[in-house]
């Protein structure tokens, strides 16, 4: 039983490894050498095999590609459309969809395509291409194409394999070639993505092909009530963007009147705003709550030497540049060998005809003797030739027709030989300085095609939009002291709420209780907080709290000032030690606050009234004890107007009735001290 289980386990392991390896290498992850996935490579090779300068039906191209690609026609068609819409390698005719709106391409039988001139120039060379049998052995397909530009970084790639994925950002054509030239000059390079859909991109966290980037739509303010979206972020289209805007509007994050899509060749999405809402504040909300801003996490994973590898942009570019130098060297060497063979053949022909060596074969009776005769006749001229004469050379000479010999033009032949020698000299010169030749080659490509591919995306650094700051205050939080409930679902039926506060779902509420306890909570639908709530407000940085409180143990009153406290959500904190007799007498917000304090009468005191100016006290921690305002018992506290602070304001929410005890009641300790003063 165990042995059978072991064999089955090994079978699954082996099959899974083979499957995962196949998916990684043959489907999802591009190769570093030509930057293409297998399906893209097979499409381009098929287009090259079919190329006659005219357009081909995409359906025919898909059918021909299936001879090389072992998967269905749908995947081939999808890959061809995506490759064609990048506008570098495949020229389109017909409706290939719209990358801005997300509209699909027409059926394959209605649209046509062919290779672009640049693709013909930089992708194919049979002498440099290694071919292997196709999946059924009927045809040959390339292992990789000898691409002369870094297609991996130019096109970008997305793919999900078994246990890994890749997300490579596209880059600008001109910047890539200029960076290669700088690499050949031994200079450092830094590259950033460029997207067809334009827009804005923040690359401050871009880590050489990895890391994180943020893409934004370009939004223009037509007027206070109208917003125009001109460009959209990478990975989105106007349909998905509009859906995200409508979703944000339904959830109350933004308020719009209507949204219209006028996109055709250029993006144009018009947003009309509702009454009371203005463009400036809405633009920030669009970045915070919709696909007008998207975060992308690039992952530069590729195949190198049949092994998955994570690299940087600069490493890929340096590899492609070294490979370009080697490929151009091989091309030049092949051209040099071809020219040298051509020159050798022309020199043999010139000697054979001008020296009339063909006359020596007239008396020979056998083919073997003819070969020997010509070989012997050529021996005195071997110094003029590039290499030794072979039987194949002699056979080519014997195939020259009498008509051609009779019309032989010595001057024309001399001119052609001179041109061939000049070409050989030029190539030999290039081979001695391949770096300079490669730089000139890249410069020629830039001059020829660079004007077609300007940078589309604007590089900039933009601040993070806080969802909390951009959110609309679309919730009303009510509190009823009689029930002790707080929340956005508290409805005023018989009793009016003690207060109402407008806030957003992202806000955090600070609750300060009469006994000195405080905590921070998220905005809630309904929560029981009790009847002793002293203050509530949206917590913000820089708030200043001015507090007068009675210490129950000492029966004395202290004043303290503190700013917005640090907190952990839903955790309880205290402004002063817990005691059933301790309580807040007065809580005021901001600078310039003051209080009018009535003290217990004393015959030794000149006055029983004092003013407390909170600005005279230092800002300290919320848990600091504060400073005692008087050694005497406090009987009554009012604000600077002489009234208890019962009016509710958005950031000064002292609740009615909570200072009543301090104003109207005298504690037992205070009565005892008052009796001693009378004695």
Extract the tokens encoding 216.
Answer: 């934004």
Note the pLDDT of residue 679.
30
Catalytic annotation, residues = 110
User: How far is 112 from 58, CA to CA, in rounded Å?
Assistant: 5
User: How far is 264 from 269, CA to CA, in rounded Å?
Assistant: 10
DSSP character for 218? E
Query: pTM score, two decimals?
Result: 0.75
Choose among 168, 258, 655, 183: nearest CA to 438.
183
Query: Which CATH number describes the domain made up of 313-452?
Result: 1.10.268.10
Note the pLDDT of residue 653.
41
User: How far is 496 from 508, CA to CA, in rounded Å?
Assistant: 24
Radius of gyration of the chain (CA): 42
Tell me if 213-296 shares its fold with 313-452: no
Residue 31's SS3 state is strand
Across the chain, what does the average pLDDT equal?
84
Note the pLDDT of residue 555.
86
Q: How many CA atoms lie within 13 A of 35 on its CB side?
A: 26
Note the pLDDT of residue 658.
39
User: How far is 425 from 335, CA to CA, in rounded Å?
Assistant: 12
Helices 434-449 and 173-184, axial angle in degrees (round to 10): 160
Q: What is the 3-state secondary structure (H, E, C) of 422-449?
A: HHHHHHHHHHHCHHHHHHHHHHHHHHHH
Query: Which CATH number describes the domain made up of 21-173?
Result: 3.90.199.10
Note the pLDDT of residue 663.
36
The CA-atom distances, in angstroms, between 151 and each of 32, 317, 661 are: 9, 10, 79
| Residues lower than pLDDT 50 in the chain | 645-679
Note the pLDDT of residue 15.
66
User: How far is 489 from 516, CA to CA, in rounded Å?
Assistant: 27
CATH architecture of 213-296: 2-Layer Sandwich (3.30)
Note the pLDDT of residue 9.
67
CA 668-669-673 angle, 5° bins: 115
CA dihedral over 280, 282, 283, 285, signed as positive or negative: positive
The CA-atom distances, in angstroms, between 202 and each of 50, 215, 299, 543 are: 43, 6, 17, 33
Note the pLDDT of residue 645.
46
User: How far is 527 from 489, CA to CA, in rounded Å?
Assistant: 9
Note the pLDDT of residue 655.
45
Note the pLDDT of residue 671.
41
Give the domain ranges of the chain: 21-173, 213-296, 313-452, 473-678
Rounded to the nearest 5°, which phi and psi values hold at 486? -130, 140
């Amino acid at each position: 039983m165990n042995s059978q289980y072991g064999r089955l386990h090994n079978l699954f392991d082996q099959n899974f490894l083979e499957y995962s390896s196949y998916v990684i290498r043959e489907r999802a992850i591009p190769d570093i050498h030509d930057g293409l996935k297998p399906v893209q490579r097979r499409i381009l090779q098929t287009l090259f095999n079919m190329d006659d300068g005219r357009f081909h039906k995409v359906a025919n191209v898909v059918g021909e590609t299936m001879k090389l690609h072992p998967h269905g026609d749908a995947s081939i068609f999808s890959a061809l459309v995506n490759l064609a819409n990048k506008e570098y390698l495949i020229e389109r005719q017909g409706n290939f969809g719209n990358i801005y709106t997300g509209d699909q391409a027409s059926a394959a039988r209605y649209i046509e395509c062919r290779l672009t001139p640049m693709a013909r120039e930089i992708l194919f060379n049979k002498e440099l291409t290694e071919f292997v049998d196709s999946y059924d052995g009927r045809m040959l397909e390339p292992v990789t194409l000898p691409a002369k530009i870094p297609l991996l970084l130019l096109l970008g790639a997305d793919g999900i394999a078994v246990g890994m994925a890749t997300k490579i950002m596209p880059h600008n054509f001109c910047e890539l070639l200029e960076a290669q030239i700088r690499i050949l000059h031994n200079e450092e390079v830094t590259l950033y993505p460029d997207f067809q859909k334009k827009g804005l991109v923040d690359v401050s966290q871009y880590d050489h092909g990895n890391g994180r980037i943020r893409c934004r739509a370009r939004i223009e303010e037509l007027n206070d009530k109208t917003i125009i979206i001109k460009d959209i972020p990478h990975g989105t289209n106007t349909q998905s963007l509009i859906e995200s805007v409508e979703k944000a509007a339904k959830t109350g994050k933004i308020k719009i009147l209507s949204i219209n899509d006028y996109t055709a060749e250029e993006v144009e999405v018009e947003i009309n705003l509702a009454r009371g809402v203005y463009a400036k504040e809405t633009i920030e909300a669009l970045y915070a709550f919709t696909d007008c801003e998207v975060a992308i996490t690039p992952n530069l994973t590729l195949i190198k030497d049949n092994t998955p590898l994570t690299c940087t942009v600069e490493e890929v570019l340096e590899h492609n540049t070294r490979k370009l130098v080697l490929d151009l060297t091989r091309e030049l060497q092949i051209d040099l060998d071809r020219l040298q063979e051509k020159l050798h053949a022309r020199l043999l022909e010139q000697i054979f005809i001008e020296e009339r060596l063909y006359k020596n074969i007239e008396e020979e009776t056998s083919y073997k003797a003819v070969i020997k005769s010509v070989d012997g006749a050529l021996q005195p001229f071997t110094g003029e030739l590039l290499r030794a004469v072979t039987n194949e050379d002699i056979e080519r000479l014997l195939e020259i027709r009498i008509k051609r010999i009779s019309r032989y033009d010595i001057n024309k032949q001399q001119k052609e030989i001179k041109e061939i020698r000049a070409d050989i000299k030029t190539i030999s010169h290039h081979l001695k300085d391949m770096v300079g030749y490669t730089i000139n080659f890249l410069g020629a490509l830039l001059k020829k095609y660079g004007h077609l591919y300007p940078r589309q995306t604007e590089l900039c650094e933009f601040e993070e939009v806080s969802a909390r700051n951009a959110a609309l205050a679309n919730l009303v939080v009510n509190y009823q002291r009689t029930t002790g409930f707080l929340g956005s679902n508290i409805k005023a039926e018989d009793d009016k709420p003690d207060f109402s506060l407008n806030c957003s779902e992202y806000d955090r509420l600070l609750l300060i209780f009469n006994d000195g306890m405080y905590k921070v909570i998220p905005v809630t639908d309904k929560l029981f907080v009790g009847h002793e709530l002293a203050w509530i407000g949206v917590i913000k940085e820089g708030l200043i709290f001015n507090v007068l409180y009675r210490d129950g143990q000492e029966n004395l009153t202290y004043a303290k000032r503190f700013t917005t406290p640090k907190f952990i959500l839903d955790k309880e904190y205290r402004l002063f030690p817990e005691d059933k007799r301790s309580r807040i007498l007065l809580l005021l917000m901001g600078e310039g606050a003051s209080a009018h304090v009535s003290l217990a009468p004393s015959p030794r005191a000149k006055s029983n009234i004092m003013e407390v100016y909170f600005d005279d006290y230092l800002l300290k921690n919320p848990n600091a004890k504060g400073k005692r305002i008087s050694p005497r018992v406090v009987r009554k506290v009012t604000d600077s107007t002489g009234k208890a602070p019962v009016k509710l304001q958005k950031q000064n929410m002292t609740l009615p009735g909570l200072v009543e005890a301090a104003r109207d009641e005298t504690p037992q300790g205070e009565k005892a001290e008052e009796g001693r003063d009378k004695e």
